[in-house]
């Protein structure tokens, strides 16, 4: 099992009774080999003494954003850390993080942090269930932050239910698993197609579709974070990958995407085809803007290359190809036949029938089918979390 040797961890402690467990958490993290910098809100410091935590972490504790030292350090600390863990996270601090309100040392550092952020909420069961809390958790996850789930049991109020902060051992285990997985695609060359294609009718008009490119961009970022060398071939989309290491090739048409994908796939280990490629294009794009002359207008459409099927034919032993299918009926059967026809190793099925899934949503609900008839169904999740599920399956095959 991977340990935490040399990992630099910012531990944010907010004002919950569960803050008393932070002393055990610091001790476990240090024992696992991590360096720990503790940040506390003033309310957090009311529940556990900064002196206890600075003694255990062997570093000064920062709690006052207006002190010169903390103020100067919040950006630096955000850059220093390999991970930020906020445990316990109260409903109030959760809401501030979800909205980007940086009025204390933890929320200010959170906004500056470039590292993965983990949050372990702690609150009473009704607060945990409240739609405001649910929405804030969903928002933080949609930003790519990692929820360390709450436990079930007796709460400080005396009520019994969900809302307890995860135990320190579980938090450490969560981090261990994260880093073990984090490098699961190290050195792999991955090509990803994403977004729509625009097929020109004339200089101002095109045939396109409603794909946003969100799923493919989330996959590119997630694969890069796992150590892969990623080439993202992105159709017209307002989005860009966040990870600097992603090589971004912007294209407009299916033909341009096809060319770029063939070139990149030759030297790649894995191809993931998340683009919504237009199946047809106007036979000829008019050189000048088409005038409104007749009552009807006929466009002759010709078939575009099937990028996926072509890469499937060119696939060499050792290369993996992952496709997507968006179906409205006979979903599993259609997805399976696409997997076979296009020589995919995995196919990711998303259905337009699922509320919150598909074009332009931040969430998606998928089923992954493999060659071996294995079917894995997943819950509705943020596209970042869905990207993680897809890459887990890819890493297991590669």
* The residue to which tokens 């709450």 are assigned: 150
| 85/11 Cα distance (integer angstroms) | 5
Site for ligand CTP in 226-255 (CB under 6 A): 254
Query: Tokens standing for 116?
Result: 């993965």
Beta-sheet strands, E only, within 298-344? 301-303, 320-327
Cβ proximity to ligand CTP: between 167 and 331 the closer is 331
For 176, counting Cβ atoms within 10 Å of its Cβ (0-12 exposed, 13-18 middle, 19+ buried), the class is: middle
Indicate if 104 belongs to the active site: no
Question: What mask, x for binding ligand CTP by CB under 6 A, covers residues 255 to 284?
Answer: ------------------x-x-x-x-----
Interface residue with ligand CTP among 325, 366, 390, 391 (CB under 6 A) is 325
Query: Tokens standing for 294?
Result: 């007749």
- Provide the minimum distance between the beta carbon of 221 and ligand CTP in the complex, in angstroms, as a whole number: 18
What is the DSSP track for 175-219?
A: HHHHHHHHTTTTT-EEEEEESB--EESSSS-EE-----SHHHHHH
Residue 207 binding ligand CTP, by CB under 6 A = no
- Provide the minimum distance between the beta carbon of 272 and ligand CTP in the complex, in angstroms, as a whole number: 8
- Provide the minimum distance between the beta carbon of 362 and ligand CTP in the complex, in angstroms, as a whole number: 20
Cβ proximity to ligand CTP: between 123 and 369 the closer is 369
Residue 215 binding ligand CTP, by CB under 6 A = no
Residue 331 binding ligand CTP, by CB under 6 A = no
Is beta strand 160-164 parallel, antiparallel or unpaired with respect to 151-154? antiparallel
Contact 235, 258 (CB under 8 A): no
DSSP letter at 318 equals T
Interface residue with ligand CTP among 43, 326, 332, 380 (CB under 6 A) is 326
Q: Which one from 3, 209, 310, 334 is the annotated catalytic residue? A: 209
Question: Where does this chain bind ligand CTP (CB under 6 A)?
Answer: 193, 254, 273, 275, 277, 279, 304, 306-308, 323-326, 338
Residues noted as catalytic: 209
């Amino acid at each position: 099992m991977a340990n935490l040797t040399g990992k630099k961890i910012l531990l944010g402690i907010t004002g919950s009774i569960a803050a008393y467990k932070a002393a055990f958490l610091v001790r476990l993290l240090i024992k696992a080999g991590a360096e720990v910098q503790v940040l506390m809100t003033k309310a957090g410091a009311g529940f556990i003494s900064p002196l206890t935590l600075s003694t255990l972490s062997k570093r000064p504790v920062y709690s006052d954003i207006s002190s010169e030292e903390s103020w100067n350090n919040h950006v630096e600390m955000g850059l220093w850390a390999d991970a930020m863990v906020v445990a316990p996270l109260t409903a109030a601090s959760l809401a501030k993080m979800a909205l980007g309100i940086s009025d204390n040392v933890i929320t200010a550092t959170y906004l500056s942090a470039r590292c993965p952020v983990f949050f372990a909420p702690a609150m009473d069961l009704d607060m945990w269930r409240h739609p405001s809390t649910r929405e804030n958790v969903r928002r933080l996850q949609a930003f790519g932050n990692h929820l360390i789930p709450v436990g079930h049991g007796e709460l400080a109020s005396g009520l019994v239910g969900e809302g307890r902060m995860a135990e320190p051992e579980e938090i450490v285990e969560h981090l261990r698993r994260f880093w073990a997985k984090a490098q699961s695609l190290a050195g792999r060359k991955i090509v990803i197609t994403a977004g729509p294609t625009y097929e020109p009718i004339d200089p101002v008009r095109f045939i396109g579709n409603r794909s946003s490119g969100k799923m493919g961009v989330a996959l590119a970022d997630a694969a890069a974070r796992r150590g892969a060398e990623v080439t993202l071939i992105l159709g017209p989309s307002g989005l860009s990958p966040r990870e600097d290491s992603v090589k971004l090739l912007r294209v407009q048409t299916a033909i341009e995407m096809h060319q770029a994908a063939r070139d990149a796939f030759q030297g790649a280990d894995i191809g993931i085809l998340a683009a919504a490629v237009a199946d047809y294009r106007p036979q000829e794009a008019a050189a000048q803007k088409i005038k409104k002359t007749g009552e009807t207008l006929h466009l002759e459409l010709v078939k575009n290359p099937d990028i996926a099927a072509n890469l499937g034919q060119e696939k060499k032993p050792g290369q993996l190809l992952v496709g997507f299918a968006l179906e409205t009926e006979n979903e599993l059967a259609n997805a399976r036949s696409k997997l076979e026809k296009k020589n995919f190793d995995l196919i990711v099925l998303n259905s337009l029938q699922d509320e919150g899934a598909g074009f332009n949503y931040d969430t998606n609900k998928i089923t992954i089918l493999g060659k071996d008839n294995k079917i894995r169904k997943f819950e509705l999740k943020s596209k970042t979390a869905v990207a993680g599920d897809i890459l887990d399956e890819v890493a297991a095959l590669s």
